[in-house]
Amino acid sequence: MDRTEGMSRRDLLKAGGAIVVSFAFPLPVRDAFAQTTPRSGARPVDAGEVDGLLAIHADGSVTLYTSKVDVGTGIRIAFAQMAAEELGVSPSRVAVVEGDTATCPDQGGTGGSTGLVRGGVEIQAAAATARRALLQMGATRLNRSVADLTIADGEVRPRSGGTGVGIGSLIGDRLFSLKVDRNASLVPPSQHVAIGKPLLRPDVPAKCTGRHVYVQDFTLPNMLHGRIVRPPSMGATLVSVDESSLGGIPDVRVVRVQNFLAVVAKDEWAAVRAATTLKASWNEQPTLPGHEGLDHFSRTAPLERDQEVLNRGNAADVSRRAAKTISATYFWPFQSHASLGPSCAVADVRADGSATVWTASQGVHGLRGNLSKVFGIPPDKLRVVFLDGSGSYGTNGGDHVAADALLLSKTIGQPVRVQWMRHDEHGWDPKGPQQLLDVRAALDTDGRIVAWETEMWVPNAAPGARALLSAEAAGLQQEHGTGSGAITQNGDPPYAVDNVRVVAHLIKDTPLQLSNLRAPGKIANVFAVEGFTDEIAAAQRIDAVEFRLTRLSDPRAVDAITRTAAAFKWDARPSPNPRARQGNVLVGRGIAYMRYKQMENYVAMAMEVAVTPATGQIRVRRVTCAHDCGLVINPDGLRNQVEGCIVQTLSRALHEEVKFDRSRVTSVDWTSYPILRFPEAPNVDVILIDRPEEPLVGAGEAATAPVAAALANAVFDATGVRLRTVPFTPARVKAALANA
C-alpha cells in the first residue's frame, strides 16, 4: 500500500484509472474540520456566560457550545430543542458544537445521566437569558414596550401582529455580555412548540450512509498509525525487544519507553501486522485473584473502610427481636463496556510544544487536565476535541487510547492515530466492578417488613482520574483515583420500612481497573433489593405488583407500576406460576420497580420469559416498561434510550462476565465475552409518562437498573428457582434447576 501513501485521493484515482466515488463530502466532514478551527472573536469559554454557551449569527441561526457530548444518546437534538424553545427559532436552525476544550465551556463530563440535567438546563437558562435581552433590544428597535412583544419564527414581533425584527439582525454574532440567569423565566410547558416533539436526530442520515466522521475515521496529513503492544499479563515488565522479527513489514518503527511498547507505520495494516509479529520478552508475575471465586475474594479482601450509606431507625435491634428474619446473597461480576468499535484517538504534538488530541472521550476537560499533568503540556497548549466514537456507556478505553496516541506523537514528533484491537478493548478497558450484597429482612408476625439491612462489598472508589495505562508503563508520574461512579446508591428498598441500614464495605484493592459502566452500582443494588423484595412477596404468597403498591405512597411510583401492569396485562397471583409448563418450556412473568438514585426517574418493568429446562436457556419474550423522567424533551430519543437500556442490560444479565486468570483478562473477543444477539431480542413496549410541569431528569441509564431483577423474578415465576448471581448462563440455570 506504500505506493499510494502521500498521494492525494485525486492522484490515487488517476492511478486507478477510474473514478471511485463521489467526492462531495457532505456536512459531517465539514463539521469535523470546523471543530478543528477555534471560533473567531473573543467568546468566553465559560458556562456562566450566555456567550459561552450560545451564539446567534447574523442569519438568525444559532450555535450551542457544550462539553456534554452525544455518544449515541441523542442529546444533540435535545439541546437544540431546549435552546430553540426559548429563542423562538426552529430546532433545525440550531447547530451544536460538542466537547472542544478550545470553544466549549466545561459543564462537566458526560456521565451519570447529567447531559440534559446539567448541560441542557444550563443551555436553556442561557437561551432564556438571551431571549429576555433580545426582547429588550427588539423593544428599542421597534419602539414598543417589552410587554407587547413576543419571540417566534426567529424574530421579535408584536403580540398583536405586524412587523417584527429578526434576532440575527438584533445581535448578529455580537456578544450579549451577560451572565446566565439561572432563574430566567422559561417558556411555560403549555406553550411548548419545540420541546416534546419526536424530532429526528441530525446525525442519523450520515451514520446510515457512511458519511458520519467518527474519531476512528479522522485523519491528518503526515499521520502515522500506531498499535500498542500491551504486556501479556498485568504489571509485567519489558525485558527485551527483537526488532529483527519485523523483517518484511514496510516502513514500521518500534517505539519503546520503559515498559511501554508500540509500533508505528505509514500503513495501518503494517502497524497491525507488526504489533502481532513483534517478539518481546516480559517478566511476568501473577497478581490477580481470577474471576472464579470472586464473591469469596470480595468478602475476604482487605478493606479500606466501612461506609454507612444509610441508617434509619434501628435495624439491627429490630432484626434481633423480630418474629422472623430472612436473608440472601447476590453477586454481580466484572463487566466490560465492550464497545463495538475499539477505542481510537489521534494526537498531534507539534514542535512548539502545543498539542491537539481528537478523542471520543466523554469528558474532554477532565481528560485535558489529566493529560496536561501527566505529559507536562500546559493546559493552554493542549486542546482536546471530541469526535463521535463507538458507544461507550461510561469510560471505556477512550481515555487510555488518547494517552497512547499523545505519548507516541510526543515521542516521534508526528501526528499519530491509535486504534485499539479487539483484544485491547476487551482486555484493557476499565471495567464495571464486581459487587457482592447480603440483604436481610425482619418480618413481624403479620409478615410486615419491620427492618431491612443491606451490606455490600464493593471496591473503594477513590476520587480522581484513573491511572493511564501508557503513562504507567512509560514510568510517568501520575496521581490517580479509581473512579467507578456512585456505586452505593439504591441499596435500600424504595418501600415503607421504618428501620433500614445500608453499609458498604469498601475493598482496598481492585483486581481490574474500575469504571463507571452504565448505571454504576445501581445495576447490582437494584438487582439485589428488587430480587429480594420478590423473595419476600413470594414467601408470603402475595402478588408481586400488589406487594409493591401497598408499600408505596408516592403517586408517581404507583402510576409507573400500575401502568406497567396494565399494559403488560399482568395476571395477579403469587409466584411461582402454577401453570408454568407450556410444552418444552416453563413460562413466567416478573416485575421490578425502582426510583433511580432514590430521587430521579421512576421506572417499573415487567417481563415474560420462557425457560427451557433441558438446556437452561432463558428466552425473554416481551418487556413492558413505564418510565417517568419528568419533562420529556424528545420522546423518540428518550424511547430509543430506554429500549437500549433494557436490551443492553438483558445482555449483561444473561451473558456477560469478564473472565480473568492470575495474570490477564481471558475474555478478549465476542466468543469468550458473548453479548445478546438478534434472535434473543424481545419485543419491548415503552410507556413514556410525560410530566411537563416536573423538572426533567436524565434518562441515559435509569432503565438499566431494574432489568436484572425483573428478569430473575420472571425466571423464579417460571421455575420456582431464584437466580442471585449474574450472568444467568444456560449452565448456571441448568445447575440451579438440578439443585432445586
Partner 1 sequence: MPRYTFRLNGQSVSVDSWDPAQPLLYALRGPLALHGAKFGCGLGQCGACTIIVDKTATRSCQLPVSRAAGRDITTLEGIGTPEKPDAVQAAFIAEQAAQCGYCTNGMIMAAKALLARTPKPTVEQIKQALDGNLCRCGTHTRIVRAVRRASQQV
- CB of 541 vs partner 1, minimal distance in Å: 35
- CB of 78 vs partner 1, minimal distance in Å: 13
Residue 4 contacts partner 1 per CB under 8 A: yes
CA torsion sign for 688, 694, 695, 697 is negative
Closer CB to partner 1, 59 or 669, in the complex: 669
The length of the chain in residues reads 740
- CB of 260 vs partner 1, minimal distance in Å: 23
Give the integer Cα–Cα distance in Å for 550 and 581: 30
Residue 16 contacts partner 1 per CB under 8 A: yes
Q: If we measure between CA atoms, which residue out of 394, 369, 374 comes closest to residue 474?
A: 374
**Binding to partner 1, residues 497-556 (CB under 8 A):** none
Cα 193 to Cα 86, 196, 382, 515, 696: the distances in Å are 10, 8, 41, 39, 17
Closer CB to partner 1, 214 or 282, in the complex: 214
Residue 643 contacts partner 1 per CB under 8 A: yes
Contact residue for partner 1 among 208, 302, 305, 378 (CB under 8 A): 208
Interaction mask 257-276, partner 1, x per CB under 8 A: ----------xxxx-xx---
- CB of 687 vs partner 1, minimal distance in Å: 15
Cis peptide upstream of residue 727 (ω within 30 degrees of 0): yes
- CB of 208 vs partner 1, minimal distance in Å: 5
Contact residue for partner 1 among 63, 67, 73, 113 (CB under 8 A): 73
Closer CB to partner 1, 141 or 677, in the complex: 677
Q: If we measure between CA atoms, which residue out of 347, 352, 346, 380 comes closest to residue 365?
A: 380
Question: Which stretches of 444-554 are DSSP H helices?
Answer: 469-473, 522-539, 544-549
**How is residue 39 annotated by DSSP?**
P
Closer CB to partner 1, 270 or 545, in the complex: 270
Q: Which stretch binds partner 1 (CB under 8 A): 3-11, 121-129, 366-374, 727-735?
A: 3-11
**Binding to partner 1, residues 450-489 (CB under 8 A):** none
**Binding to partner 1, residues 368-427 (CB under 8 A):** 388-391, 393, 419, 421-422
Q: Which stretch binds partner 1 (CB under 8 A): 41-49, 213-221, 400-408, 429-437?
A: 213-221
DSSP element (H, E) containing 416: strand 416-419
Contact residue for partner 1 among 645, 696, 708, 736 (CB under 8 A): 645
- CB of 593 vs partner 1, minimal distance in Å: 21
Residue 72 contacts partner 1 per CB under 8 A: yes
Closer CB to partner 1, 13 or 549, in the complex: 13
Cα 351 to Cα 346, 355, 381, 410, 412: the distances in Å are 17, 9, 12, 9, 11
Residue 214 contacts partner 1 per CB under 8 A: yes
**417 contact partners, CB below 8 Å, separation of at least 6:** 218, 219, 220, 223, 224, 225, 226, 344, 345, 346, 405
**106 contact partners, CB below 8 Å, separation of at least 6:** 45, 47, 67, 365
Rg of the chain over Cα atoms, rounded to whole angstroms, equals 28
- Position 624: which residue type? T
- CB of 647 vs partner 1, minimal distance in Å: 3
How does strand 355-359 pair with strand 602-612? unpaired
Answer yes or no: are the C-beta atoms of 543 and 534 closer than 8 Å. no
Closer CB to partner 1, 3 or 579, in the complex: 3
Closer CB to partner 1, 19 or 42, in the complex: 19
Residue 247 contacts partner 1 per CB under 8 A: no
Give the integer Cα–Cα distance in Å for 679 and 326: 38
Give the integer Cα–Cα distance in Å for 560 and 581: 30
- CB of 706 vs partner 1, minimal distance in Å: 15
Question: Which stretches of 437-521 are DSSP H helices?
Answer: 469-473
**How is residue 77 annotated by DSSP?**
H
Answer yes or no: are the C-beta atoms of 537 and 490 closer than 8 Å. no
Q: Which three cell numbers stand for residue 110?
A: 458526560
DSSP element (H, E) containing 299: helix 294-300
**Binding to partner 1, residues 324-363 (CB under 8 A):** 338-342
- CB of 693 vs partner 1, minimal distance in Å: 27
Which residue in the block uniquely carries the three cell numbers 408584536? 158
Residue 9 contacts partner 1 per CB under 8 A: yes
Q: Which stretch binds partner 1 (CB under 8 A): 179-187, 349-357, 497-505, 635-643?
A: 635-643
Contact residue for partner 1 among 181, 203, 304, 444 (CB under 8 A): 203
Q: Which stretch binds partner 1 (CB under 8 A): 88-96, 557-565, 585-593, 634-642?
A: 634-642
Q: Which stretch binds partner 1 (CB under 8 A): 112-120, 205-213, 321-329, 525-533?
A: 205-213
Closer CB to partner 1, 192 or 211, in the complex: 211
Q: Which stretch binds partner 1 (CB under 8 A): 327-335, 595-603, 607-615, 639-647?
A: 639-647
- CB of 22 vs partner 1, minimal distance in Å: 7
Residue ranges with strand state E in 429-525: 435-443, 449-459, 499-507
- CB of 567 vs partner 1, minimal distance in Å: 16
The 10 Å Cβ neighbour count of residue 517 is: 29
List, edge to edge, every strand of the sheet that includes 585-595.
Answer: 581-582, 585-595, 602-612, 617-628, 683-688
Q: CB-based burial of residue 705 (10 Å sphere; 0-12 exposed, 13-18 middle, 19+ buried)?
A: buried
Closer CB to partner 1, 193 or 206, in the complex: 206
Contact residue for partner 1 among 196, 250, 313, 447 (CB under 8 A): 250
Closer CB to partner 1, 21 or 599, in the complex: 21
Residue 15 contacts partner 1 per CB under 8 A: yes
Give the integer Cα–Cα distance in Å for 316 and 323: 14
Closer CB to partner 1, 338 or 586, in the complex: 338
Contact residue for partner 1 among 37, 177, 185, 209 (CB under 8 A): 209
- CB of 671 vs partner 1, minimal distance in Å: 7
Q: Which stretch binds partner 1 (CB under 8 A): 49-57, 67-75, 606-614, 726-734?
A: 67-75
Give the integer Cα–Cα distance in Å for 396 and 422: 13
Q: Which stretch binds partner 1 (CB under 8 A): 121-129, 280-288, 534-542, 679-687?
A: 679-687
Contact residue for partner 1 among 45, 151, 631, 676 (CB under 8 A): 676
The count of chain residues that interact with partner 1, using the rule CB under 8 A, is 84
Closer CB to partner 1, 343 or 719, in the complex: 343
List, edge to edge, every strand of the sheet that includes 149-152.
Answer: 149-152, 155-158, 165-166
Give the integer Cα–Cα distance in Å for 605 and 590: 8
